[in-house]
Amino acid sequence: METGKPNYKMIVILIWVVILWGVNAVAIKYLTQFYPPLVLAPVRLCLASLLLVPVMIVQKCWRLPRKAWPSVGGIALFCIFLHQIALTFGIKATSGTHAVLILGMNPLMTALLAGYFLKEKFTAAKAAGMVLGFGGLLFVVAANAQSGASLFGDAVMGIATLVFVIGSLFVKTATSYASPLTVTAYSHALAAAGLGLVGFAANPDWGHAAYSSWIPVAVLLFSSFFSTALGALLWNVSIRHLGASTASLFQNGCPVIGVFASVLFLGEQLSWHHLTALVLVVLGVTIGTGILPLPQFGRGKQAMDQQA
């Protein structure tokens, strides 16, 4: 997408990812009313793996090169294992609106970490995006008066966002050795095994009354099969074709979907803090990732005119 015509197929795929993940934050918030956090996370990952692994076998792409395992392990550890634990605890400890807005910091964090680890240039636009993004985060924290929100929960959601960004840096390398389906299936299977061990240690009894109620089960299946399995697969496909930084540009849409989903499904209230935070986060990631260029003055403008 950086050169030539836009890849409209990838754009449509990423729009679906935005919808699935924006709604998923609210779905998990709902499910934590019925399942303990360290039961919910492994159950969702196990269900997702039960869908991904058979599809991988049917597609005959189960072979993973030895040199791809470190990257797949990084995805499993950061992007899934640690992210799911932090995400589940964070969403339970804060409001759904706060959760999706903090997750909206993902594109800005990706730009900053890519600049450090991948030696991408840190520009004035990225600096401006960082200031605006953290300004939005401050407005989210300032609205703690909303029922269900807490400073601790907001901090855990920040950790969930950070580890996901770190894990995403491994995806480009892993998908250069194997198909996105293979990478997604193995990384989810590894993470599901780890989360299962942690879950059984923390909660030996996995029998819950919610399993007999069709609404929580339906939400659980949607979160597992669509938001987790399909969403991760589509995300890895987009990173393979576009790269992590470009793909992450679309994630500023997740807070928008999530905020409206929180209001619609959880009955949460919007305040001016949330609207201001939403504007600042979206504006920050838009400027920080270069979608909306900063005005050029003096030498910068002359250089652009010469290039034109």
Residue-wise pLDDT for 83-119, tens only, equals 988 987 887 788 766 777 787 777 778 877 877 776 6
Domain boundaries, the chain: 8-307
Instruction: Find the DSSP H helices in the chain.
Output: 8-31, 37-58, 69-74, 83-93, 96-103, 106-117, 124-142, 151-174, 180-202, 214-221, 231-242, 244-248, 253-261, 272-288, 299-307
pLDDT, position 307 = 44
Count of alpha carbons within 13 angstroms of residue 223, beta-carbon side: 25
Measure the CA–CA gap between 227 and 223, rounded to whole angstroms.
5
Q: What is the mean pLDDT of residues 182-197?
A: 95
What whole-number percentage of the chain has pLDDT above 70? 83
pLDDT in tens, 29-88: 788 888 887 888 889 999 999 999 999 999 989 999 999 999 999 999 999 999 988 987
Q: What is the pLDDT of residues 143-153, one digit of tens each?
A: 654 556 788 88
Taking the whole predicted model, whether its pTM rises above 0.85 is answered as no
d(Cα 128, Cα 137) in Å, to the nearest integer? Answer: 14
Interatomic CA distance for residues 194 and 80, integer angstroms: 10
Is the Cβ–Cβ distance between 272 and 136 less than 8 Å?
Answer: no
Q: Give the tokens for residue 251.
A: 């994630």
User: Is 162 within 8 Å of 82 (Cβ atoms)?
Assistant: no
Please measure the distance between the N-terminal and C-terminal CA atoms of the chain and give it in whole angstroms. 20
Burial of 197 (0-12, 13-18, 19+ CB in 10 A): exposed
